[in-house]
Amino acid sequence: MGLGRFGGGVGVVRFLLQRGAEVTLTDLQTREQLAESLSQVDIDQLSQLVLGEHREMDFANADLIVVNPGIAIHENRFTKVALDHNVPITTEMNLFWERCRARRLIVTGTVGKSTTTALIHHLLSTNGVSCRLGGNIGISLLPDVETISPDEWVVLELSSFQLEHLVALKPRAEVAVVTNFAPNHLDWHGGLDSYRTAKQRALSWQLPGDVSVLHESLRDWETHGDRVLFGAECSSGSASVSLQQDRFVINFGGNEQEILFRSLPVSLNSPHQRLNIAASVAAVCSRFPISLSKIQQSLNSFQQLPHRLEEVATVHGVKFLNDSKATTPEATLAALNSIDSPFVLIAGGKSKNVDLSSLCQAISNRAKAVALIGETGPCMAEMISQANRSVELIVVETLPEAFTWAVQRVGSEEAVLFSPACSSGSQFANYAQRGEVFRHLVESHVKNLPF
């Protein structure tokens, strides 16, 4: 159920077809919208291809339903039909975990999950550890699950949705990392307590002797594994990676070592990226005998993920920053705090029923001008205006309109920052497509500039 415009269901379809299953692929989007994903599937092998709609009979008559993890199965009309007919429902990650023999390291949290997951995988793979990268980061390991040996590691990013669906399996990870916690996806989970419980499951399924890596603000969370903290205020007596003035202090077994911030590559040397590094180094040092000098070398060769405060271009002294992955107020706040120059902000999107007031206060103090789009645009505009009436702002319908307005107000040695603080909503399939639209707007703008 749901192939996805960026191929989220491709791995599942391939896996099922490889094993001779009769697969009905159904998606609410059209063939044209799914062209890229469909090109990765042998559609001639499908029993049925149903696009632009779902049909109740497909859900009532199936032997198994595999859903996108973002679908709340007890709320969705079609999955409720399946439940009424006692048809089992699962996800790609559940199918993978049922078959995976490898050792597991998982990363969850509200922000920083993808970068931390990719960074851990990079630190391990560049230092001789056999490992695979997958999960919510957009890579399905399911088609290759039977080729993954028990001696390998899988490094998985898991969303709260995926963790919720995994409840029946209670899967254990030898190393579990929680990057941070803040309100998010409350529209899906129904409240903050349910969202917190979903995140805590990554820890509750562990056993004594496993490793639980936590941001220091989560020190009160219950763990079964050996606790490792990271952050700015970790106690020196505990296993930790702390950020102190101009350096990381890595403490395991009473042996303190340091990495200076100035040794980091520019792409990783910002406050929020340093926290991602601290989480990654904590996870790696807790379980793997890799020297700090080799970790430093690997940090310098890491390629930053797209759509995460990504510098798309700098032209005539103006920086264009694509932070489309910022789908929470905390992520956008981190972006604001990472920019030293004046900037024009483009923000807004679909509401997730989270409090945006603190973010809007920060925007009112930091942004030169603000263009707002989407469902949250009007309410954000009101909060920003109430906090600081001198901030120039506009509410528009589309990202191209916001971009045109922003470039008319940005000056040399300033920046245009696209950091929505919200999910994509109806205008975009997801944050990645939204980020690509911004990238294309920048490229078109640069192409038409006089030089």
Q: Is 125 marked as binding a ligand?
A: no
- Dist. CA 87–CA 145, nearest whole Å: 25
Q: Is 70 annotated as a binding residue?
A: no
Confidence band for 82, pLDDT divided at 50, 70 and 90: very high
Q: At residue 17, does pLDDT exceed 70?
A: yes
The per-residue DSSP string of 360-375 comes to: HHHHHHH-SEEEE-ST
Asked if 261 and 269 touch (Cβ cutoff 8 Å), the reply is yes
* pLDDT for the residue numbered 46: 96
* E strands, 52-92, in order: 65-67, 89-91
The mean pLDDT value for 154-165 works out to 97
109 is in an annotated binding site: yes
Give the pLDDT of residue 7. 62
Structure confidence by residue, pLDDT tens digits, 380-433: 999 999 999 999 999 999 999 999 999 999 999 999 999 999 999 878 989 999
Report the DSSP beta bridge partners of residue 418.
322, 346
SS3 174: coil
Reported as a single tens digit per residue, the pLDDT across 28-63 is 989 998 998 899 999 999 999 999 999 999 999 999
Alpha-carbon span 279 to 296, nearest angstrom? 14
Rg over alpha carbons for the chain, rounded to the nearest Å, is 23
Tell me the pLDDT band of 253, cut-offs 50, 70 and 90: confident
Q: Which residues of 321-354 are buried (b: 16+ CB within 10 A; e: fewer)?
A: bbbbbbbbbbbbbbbbebbeeebbbbbbbbbbeb
C-alpha distance from residue 110 to each of 102, 231, 275, 325, 358 (Å): 26, 15, 13, 12, 17
d(CA 437, CA 431): 10
Q: For residue 138, report the phi and psi dihedrals to the nearest 5 degrees.
A: 110, 10
Quote the pTM value: 0.89
Per-residue pLDDT tens over the stretch 87-137: 999 999 999 999 999 999 999 999 999 999 999 999 999 999 999 999 999
Q: What percent of the chain has pLDDT over 90?
A: 88
80 is in an annotated binding site: no
Q: Are 330 and 112 in contact (CB under 8 A)?
A: no
Q: Which amino acid is at 443?
A: E
User: 292: how many CB neighbours lie within 10 A of its CB?
Assistant: 14
Q: Taking a C-beta distance cutoff of 8 angstroms, is the pair 122, 302 a contact?
A: yes
pLDDT category of residue 2 using cuts at 50, 70 and 90: confident
Task: To the nearest 10°, report the CA torsion of 217, 223, 227, 233.
Answer: 10
The domain ranges of the chain are 10-87, 94-300, 310-447
What is the residue type of 209? G
* Residue 247 amino acid letter: R
The CATH code for residues 94-300 is 3.40.1190.10
* pLDDT, position 266: 84
Q: 310-447 belongs to which homologous superfamily? A: Mur ligase, C-terminal domain (3.90.190.20)
- How confident is the model over 290-341, as pLDDT tens digits? 999 999 999 999 998 999 999 999 999 999 999 999 999 999 999 999 999 9
pLDDT tens per residue across span 130-151: 999 999 998 899 999 999 999 9
CA dihedral 299, 300, 301, 304 (to 10 degrees): 70
**Alpha carbons 200 and 210: distance in angstroms, whole number:** 15
* CB atoms closer than 10 angstroms to residue 371: 27
pLDDT for residue 6: 59
CATH number for the region 10-87 comes to 3.40.50
115 is in an annotated binding site: yes
Question: Do 10-87 and 310-447 have matching folds?
Answer: no
